[in-house]
Structure formats: C-alpha cells, structure tokens
Amino acid sequence: MVRKPRVVVTDLDQPSLAEEEAVSAAEGFELVRAECRTEDDVIRAGEGADALIVQYAPITREVFKALPHLKVVARYGVGVDTVDLEAATDSGVAVCNVPDYGTEDVSDHAIALALSLARGVVGLDREMRSGNYSLAPVQPLHRVAGRIFGVVGLGLIGAATARKARGVGYETIGFDPVFEPGTTTPGGTAVVSFDDLIRRADVISLHVPLNAHTRHLINADVLAAMKPGAILVNTCRGGVVDTEALVEALRSGGIRAAGLDVFEQEPLPKDSPLFALPNTVLTPHAAWYSEESQVELKRRTAQNVADVLAGRKLRNIVNPEVLA
C-alpha cells in the first residue's frame, strides 16, 4: 500500500482546519495537527513528515537536519523570518508563503491606524470615557488634505496603502529599492529616496519584509530625522522598528504618535512601556485578519503544500533555486 504524504501543521492560533482538511481530502495527503513552540517540539511532531505548515514555530537548521523527508515548509502569511531559508535551501526544501492574500486587509488597517491618530480618534474616545469633553488633549490636529503620506516598501500592500491614502486626500510619496527616485509608480506614487521620505512625510507607513537589511531600519537616527509631528505606522514586522528608540521618541515628542500592529516580541509583554504611552494605538497583529482573508490564507497555504508534493508548478516559492 502506498504511503500517503504526511503533512504536519506545527502550530495555528485558530481552532478550525476546515480549509486545510478540504485540500488534504482532495489531494490525498495525511494532515496532522500539533502545538509546537520550540525547535524540539517541531522535531518531535515532524518525525516522518513530508511537509510542515507553520505559523510561528521556529524552523531552524536543526529541524531540517532532523527531518530528512521534508520537501516543503509552507508558512501561513507573507513573512518567512521564522524559517532558516539558507538551511532550507541547503537541504533542498522548498519554502512557500502567501504574499498577496491580505493586501486589502493590511492596507485597510494601516490607513485606519493612520487616520485614528491623525484625527485623534482614540485619544478623544479615551478622554470622553473619563469625563473630559474637550479637544485640548489632542490639539493641534491638522487637515489630512495636502499632508504627505510616505510609504516605505511599494509592493502589493504598500501600493494599496498609497492608493487608499490618496483616496482620503493625502499626497503620497514612496521608497523602494526596486524603483528609481524621481520616477512615479504605475499607481501614481512619487518615488523618493529613503532619507527624503523620512524628512518630508507627515505619516510614514512601513511595508517591508524583515531581513538583515531591514532589521531596525527605523532606529534612533531615523526617528530623529522625522518631523516632530510625524506619525509612524507599522503593519509589517515588529523587528523593522527599534522599540527602545521608538519609545524614547514618543516620550520626548520627537515624533507625534505611532500606530503599531506588530512588535519585536509577540505577544507584546505586559510590562512593555508602549502600553503606558498615550500617543500610541496598539493592535495584536490583527491587520491581516478578515473572515475572507482567513479562509483564503488557510486554503492557499495548504494548496502550496499539495502543489509541491504533486510536482506541480509553484506560484509562491521563496527559494526557487531548490527547483533548479
């Protein structure tokens, strides 16, 4: 009897595997759910696995060494910073993601964070609930129309965020190493240098992957170069921002406010100084979520696995050199 391929879901913070099970039934692989938090957990749960589906569990070089049957690691989401890509490639294991499932959802969330801070919505709500019927705590506020919205990273999500920012009246500028400063993107965003964007933008929204080049991209020097009234929005990866430097800039008035959906440590520790700052809006890595995006993400992640196991052409592979 031919053995069914074994696919292990290492971790998932949702109760249902309905979408994954539907793909499993159609494609004929065995689906096993685990609750892994550590490297050792993954090695134990993944014994004999042909594929891993991963949310947050660490997929390290030791994992690849211990699981020689692995053909693919598929991550729920865009970022793959929890997977050792070099080790995966050395082991001949394909790594897949789903880069475009949450474009509308994440860009919606980025705009929501920006506008809630630009218009003082959360601060005013907080004051009203404490009995203070006054504009004073959030003054001065400025009209959005004519203000500059800077987008760092002009991929699918960054481009969608820029489009929506223009829709509410912002002028948009953007930086991405793929685009030449002085040009304009197909969507109508003026491309500038990183330094120029940091210096000019009233709102700065981050949409880059986390890697060696972008870790702490927003550091003390960059924060010091921003306008004192600038708003920082981060819906990409927590490690792109130096949290300690950001806290200091927010406390000192170096920048006006920050809307953060992602953090260097998740969940955000209860003693994080970010909680005590009145000029922050914090959400729990929720930008990706809608009922529609959740279904799409789970189905497409499982389909990535099925396509690798069946030898089909892959749409979303992070290390295509393993197929050479």
Q: Which residues are known to be catalytic?
A: 237, 266, 285
Distance (Å, whole) CA 236 – CA 152: 10
* Closest C-alpha to 189, from 168, 160, 217, 209: 160
With 0-12 / 13-18 / 19 or more C-beta atoms within 10 angstroms meaning exposed / middle / buried, residue 182 is exposed
As a whole number of angstroms, the distance between CA 293 and CA 108 comes to 12
232: Cβ–Cβ under 8 A, 6 or more apart, which residues?
203, 204, 206, 218, 223, 226, 241, 246, 255, 257, 258, 259
CA count, 13 A, side-chain hemisphere, 199: 5
Phi and psi dihedrals of 156, rounded to 5?
Answer: -60, -50
